[in-house]
Amino acid sequence: MMNMTRHKHLRLDQSKIDRAKKLLGAKTEQETIERALDLVLGEEPILKVHRRIKAVGGFEDPLR
């Protein structure tokens, strides 16, 4: 996958950024958001399995 950086202007909850920054040990808000996105994307295989189980009558989607 090609790494493409784009400038974004987002309205985000500052307290969430501050908490995530501390939890992740990040130095900047940019690093915090990048690392948080990496963590979510790393969970993709697990989320796909959860969604397949839900489709056959299993449990609720944890992110919905």
Q: Which domain, by its residues, includes 33?
A: 14-55
Give Cβ neighbours of residue 36 (< 8 Å, ≥ 6 apart): 20, 24
Whether residue 3 is contained in a domain is answered as no
* Any domain includes 9: no
Residue 6 covered by a domain = no
> Does any domain span residue 61?
no
In a domain, 50, yes or no: yes
Task: Report the domain count for the chain.
Answer: 1
Q: Over 80: is that where the pLDDT of 31 sits?
A: yes
Q: Give the pTM.
A: 0.70
pLDDT at 57: 77
Look at residue 21 and tell me if it is in a domain.
Answer: yes
| pLDDT value, residue 61 | 65
* Domain contains 8: no
